[in-house]
Chain A
Amino acid sequence: MGRKLLTEHINVEGIDTLEVYRKHGGYRSVEKALKTMTPDEVVEEVKKSGLRGRGGAGFPTGMKWSFLAKPEGVPRYLVCNADESEPGTFKDRQLMSKLPHLLVEGMITSSYALGANTSYIYIRGELLYVLRILEKAIAEAYAAGFLGKNILGSGYDLDLHVHPGGGAYICGEETALLESLEGKRGNPRNKPPFPAVQGLYARPTVVNNVESIAAVVPIINDGGEEYAKIGVGRSTGTKLFSACGHLNKPGIYEIELGLPVEEFIYSDEYCGGIWKGRDLKAVVAGGSSVPILPKDLILKTAAGEQRLMTYESLSDGGFVTGTMLGSGGFIAMDETTCIVRNTWSFSRFYHHESCGQCSPCREGTGWLEKVLHRLEHGHGHMEDIDLLVSVAKQIEGNTICPLGEAAAWPVAAAVRHFRDEFEWHVTHAKEAAQPGAVYQSKSVLV
């Protein structure tokens, strides 16, 4: 049984109230940081913990914090990215709706570390009901003196607000999120300048994922070194995985990084195996943007080693035979899944969510969707398969933000590992276009 640093008390009755949350050790990190530590000491603990950004990129959080510009007399901001929209990912929604005070506590401790006096939680607009839960928790925190002026007599002031989006995946990209928070369309900004120098209202800003901010709480309570003892190598601590698709027990699981993928899928402690007694066909391990892997490659690396749930092990083999940990959105597909149809669905998503600012993405995502649509619906040609690879290549690296890559990678990986299934959609077009038709593809290694 792995340690649970974030979700230990998630099912405790009334844990969404300040009173019960306090009884289970809540707000200790705020007391410890504000009463016994300097802001720089808090940053130092987060650096020592080895915590890596939990939103998907995996950039070390402490290092991101240390980049924040601190010009004299200029306000700076901490913005929490709660725009959880990566298909397959639903951990932040669960965390915020059940443990709102954990995020509020993390925001206070983190804001103190960064010297921010106003902080925002940007939550996706669909989660207005979670915004209400957070606002209630924030009101309780104000009443208890954890927010507002002179918190706990420390002389430190902080205001915390929740801001809803309006339904746009792109606002999960940090500069698009800041544009959106300023009341504009969510078009990502050119970088540099990075948000650490010019972020919200052109002021120094740190943007962190919900889970990263929540992890600051145990890091400050127990110390960065303790946190770093959990995990393997540069993958320290615990991580929330959102498991979905054809699993017996979909849901969110907090695991110690380093758990074997096989154990995560098949053990009754976690996902409990594939539903309906079927065989596993493929897994998207870190949200829809990361490369899909067939069963044999998700369970073992190309070198035959057991695949672990760490940043390094999941990316072992690069994009040829590996994938990425990403946001921890773990999508399992059983043997009846049509890979072409699933890839088309993802491409439709990226086409729908492209902000339209960069031509390669705006046009390219449309091409990917159209070509995949005709392959899936029995109108494809053999050359379409290489056309997909070509379009994906032309998007990758040619856009302001990573949505381009996010759209290109899943398509390239699907063709890489399941080319025979794509070919079957051309050679057996009529059959393939039938609802529920599935080719039992053997994975093809490049």
Chain B
Amino acid sequence: METTSVKPQFSEAAKAEIERICKQYPPERRKSALLPVLHIAQAEFGGWVSPEVQDLVAEVIGIKPIEVYEVSSFYTMFNLKPVGKHVLEICRTGPCMLRGSDELTAHLERITGAKVNGATSPDGLFTLKEVECLAACGFAPIVQVREKYYEQLDTPAAVDAMLTELRNQVHRPALPWEETGLPNALANN
């Protein structure tokens, strides 16, 4: 989708959640809220944080945009480019590798048509991203999609079940502060 020149805005529910979070830190330390607010921004604006969204984050917290850029580029959870509807984060670290993460990655590339750490699937549904240890090594191999862990994906049936569940998701799952009816359609899909 083309980027528009309209300035992005947080939903009212997200604004309230951001203010709740900012109050967790001393008043002169609102910058502490940066990582939690970036997570909210990524969830609100279609799974990635554009420069415009990062500027908005700076504005609501009351810090300089550069303070957001230098942090968003350091932490690997923030996607700085547009992504598909679902970002599949595949753990590739040793313990998952021992239980078949290489095979899982190859299998996911084959059936979705997406390239790992590259092009989103032609249908726009899936982006495949290799990540490092997700702290679930006893249930390897693992894929994380947003806040959910899909574990023991060592059979085609388990992988199919995950993909079917995701294909059937019209909207992303509601976040706690959205329970009172906020439309949670994916912003850029």
Query: Which residues does A use to contact B, with CB under 8 Å?
Result: 84-90, 92-93, 120, 124-129, 132, 135, 159, 161, 163-169, 180-186, 201, 242-246, 250-252, 284, 288, 329, 331, 333, 337, 341-342, 345-346, 348-349, 352-353, 355
Contact = CB atoms under 8 A, between A and B. Distances in A.
Given A186-B74, A244-B140, A331-B94, A124 B135 contact: yes
Contacts of B32: 163, 181-183
Given A182-B32, A333-B98, A166 B78 contact: yes
A116 B164 CA distance: 48
Contacts of B176: 132, 135
B95 to A, nearest CB: 5
Contacts of B75: 125, 165-168, 186
B94 A129 contact: no
B147 to A, nearest CB: 4
28 contacts: A87-B132, A90-B139, A125-B75, A126-B134, A127-B135, A128-B39, A166-B38, A166-B74, A166-B75, A166-B76, A168-B76, A183-B33, A183-B61, A184-B31, A185-B71, A186-B74, A244-B99, A244-B138, A245-B95, A245-B137, A250-B140, A284-B94, A331-B94, A331-B137, A333-B98, A345-B92, A345-B94, A355-B74
Given A125-B75, A126-B77, A163 B133 contact: no
Contacts of B181: none
Interface residues of B, number: 44
Contact of A329 (B36, B98, B137): B137
B74 A168 contact: yes
Nearest to B78: A166
Given A163-B35, A166-B78, A89 B137 contact: yes
A244 B96 CA distance: 9
A183 B67 contact: yes
Q: Which 3 A-B pairs have the closest CB atoms?
A: A166-B75, A167-B77, A183-B34
Contacts of B139: 90, 250
A182 B24 CA distance: 12
B131 A88 contact: no
Q: Chain A contact residues: over half helix, strand or loop, or mixed?
A: mixed
B109 to A, nearest CB: 15
B94 A90 contact: no
B166 interface: no
B35 A166 contact: yes
A90 B136 contact: yes
A179 B72 CA distance: 14
B77 A166 contact: yes
A331 B98 contact: yes
Given A90-B137, A125-B75, A250-B139, A167 B97 contact: no
User: Could you say which of B24, B31, B77, B138 has the most chain A C-beta atoms within 10 Å of its C-beta?
Assistant: B138
A284 B35 CA distance: 33
Given A124-B135, A168-B75, A169-B133, A88 B35 contact: no
B40 to A, nearest CB: 10
A258 B8 CA distance: 58
A80 B24 CA distance: 15
Contacts of B34: 183
Contact of B71 (A166, A252, A337): A166
Contact of A243 (B61, B89, B97, B138): B138
Contacts of B81: none
A135 B176 CA distance: 10
Contacts of B78: 166-167
Given A129-B148, A163-B35, A185-B71, A331 B133 contact: no
B94 A88 contact: yes
Given A89-B135, A185-B70, A242-B137, 11 more contacts: A87-B95, A124-B135, A163-B35, A166-B38, A167-B76, A182-B29, A183-B63, A184-B31, A244-B138, A341-B97, A342-B94
Nearest to B67: A183
A288 B26 CA distance: 37
B93 interface: yes
User: Could you say which of B31, B34, B77, B139 has the most chain A C-beta atoms within 10 Å of its C-beta?
Assistant: B77
B77 A244 contact: no
